[in-house]
Amino acid sequence: MSDGSRSRLVKFGLFAAAAVLLPLLLPGYALQQVCIAIAYAIAIMGLNLLMGFGGQICLAQGALFGVGAYVTAILNSDYGIHPIATLPMSATATALVGLVVGLPALRLQGLQLAIVTFGIAAAFPQLLLKMGGITGGVSGLPIDGLEAPTWVPVSPELWLYVVSQCCAGIAALLVTLMLFGDVGRALRAQRDNAQIAEALGVNLTKTRLWAFAGSSALAGLGGGVFAIITGFISPESFLAILSINIVIGSIVGGVTSVVGAFLGGLFMVFVPTWASDINLSLGNLIYGLALILIMMVARNGVTGFIEKWLSTILRRTADNTASVKETREELT
C-alpha cells in the first residue's frame, strides 16, 4: 500500500469513527451545536472548491448561506413544503444567485473581488430587512421542527444529526466528483496560471462560473440545513461577520480538504464558546489569540498540520517495520 493512500485511509477511518462516536458521547445541546457546525462545514466545502481549488476569493459565502436558509424557510412556512424537500430547491436557487455574484469574477480577481463580495455580505442583512414582506423582517421566519419518522427510534437531535451528516456526505461526494472530473482540472489549471490555462483551451468564463455556481449551491444547502436545525432564522444570523467567519473556518481547517471543512465548521461554533467559558469577559481576547496561534502553528490549516504529522508517524512506523524485517533477515 502506498504512503498516500494509507494516510488517506487512516484519516477517513478516524473521521468515520468520530462521526459515529460524537452522538454517543455528547449531550443533546452539544449535538445540536455539532449539527450547526456541519451546516457551516457544507458551506465551507463550497468555499474550498472556489477558494482552495479555484483561487477565487468570495467573501459573500455567508450571504449565500443566508439565501439558502431563507429559501428553505419561505418554502416551508409560506407553502408548507416539508423542510427536507426544500433543500434541493435552496441549493438550486442559491446557485443561481451565486452565478450573479460570480459575474464580476470574470473580470476582477484577488483583493478587488474580495472587497466587492464583502460589500454584498454587508448589504445582505439590510436587504433582508428591506424586503420584510417576504422575509418577515427582524422577527424572522419559523421552520417546522423536524421529527424522526416513526420507524426510526431516535431523539430529534440525533435525527437532525443524521440528516445533516447525510447532507454533508452528499456535498462531499459532489465536491469530490467535481474535482476529479474535467471541471476540477480546468479549475486548478486556471488557478495556477490563467493565461496558460486559457492557451491550453480552458474556457475561463465557463470554469469560473461553474465554480461559483457549485460553491453557492453548497452554501445554499448548508443554509437550508442551518434553518432546519435552528427552527427559526432572522437577519441577525447572517451578518457580514458570518462570511468572514466562514473564510476563517475554511482557512483554519485547510482550504483544500474535505475533512478540513468539518474541522473549520467545528472551529466556528465551538472555539468562541470555549473561549468565553474560560473567562466571560476575556472571551474574545482568547479567541483572537487562538486564531493567531493556530495559524502560526499550522500555516496550511489544521488538516495540513495533521497530515504532515501523520505522515511523519507513518513513515517512522514504516521505517521501524522495515528495520525489524531487516534484523530478522539478518538473524535467519
CB of 127 to another protein, least distance (A): 7
141 pairs with which residues across the strands? 233
**Burial status of residue 136 (CB atoms within 10 A of its CB: 0-12, 13-18, 19 or more):** buried
- CB nearer to another protein: pick between 174 and 265: 265
CB of 272 to another protein, least distance (A): 7
Classify each residue of 165-189 as buried b or exposed e, where b means 16 or more C-beta atoms within 10 Å of its C-beta.
bebbeebbebbeebbeeebbebbbb
CB of 25 to another protein, least distance (A): 9
- List, in order, residues 6 or more apart from 147 with CB less than 8 Å away: 156, 159
DSSP-derived letter for residue 141 is E
DSSP-derived letter for residue 142 is E
CB of 277 to another protein, least distance (A): 8
- CB nearer to another protein: pick between 153 and 201: 153
What does the alpha-carbon distance between residue 272 and residue 292 come to, in Å, rounded to a whole number?
Answer: 14
Decide: helix, strand or coil at residue 81.
coil
94 touches 64 (CB < 8 A): yes
What does the alpha-carbon distance between residue 310 and residue 253 come to, in Å, rounded to a whole number?
Answer: 16
- CB nearer to another protein: pick between 137 and 185: 137
- CB nearer to another protein: pick between 60 and 187: 60
Over its C-alpha atoms, the chain yields an Rg (Å, rounded) of 21
CB of 139 to another protein, least distance (A): 6
Per the structure block, which three cell numbers stand in for 18?
468520530
CB of 194 to another protein, least distance (A): 11
The rounded Cα 308 to chain-centroid distance in angstroms is 22
CB of 281 to another protein, least distance (A): 6
- CB nearer to another protein: pick between 179 and 229: 229
- CB nearer to another protein: pick between 71 and 128: 128
- CB nearer to another protein: pick between 8 and 92: 8
CB of 27 to another protein, least distance (A): 6
Q: Where are the alpha helices (DSSP H) in the chain?
A: 3-25, 28-47, 61-79, 83-102, 110-130, 132-135, 156-180, 182-192, 194-199, 204-230, 240-253, 258-278, 283-297, 301-331
- CB nearer to another protein: pick between 174 and 248: 248
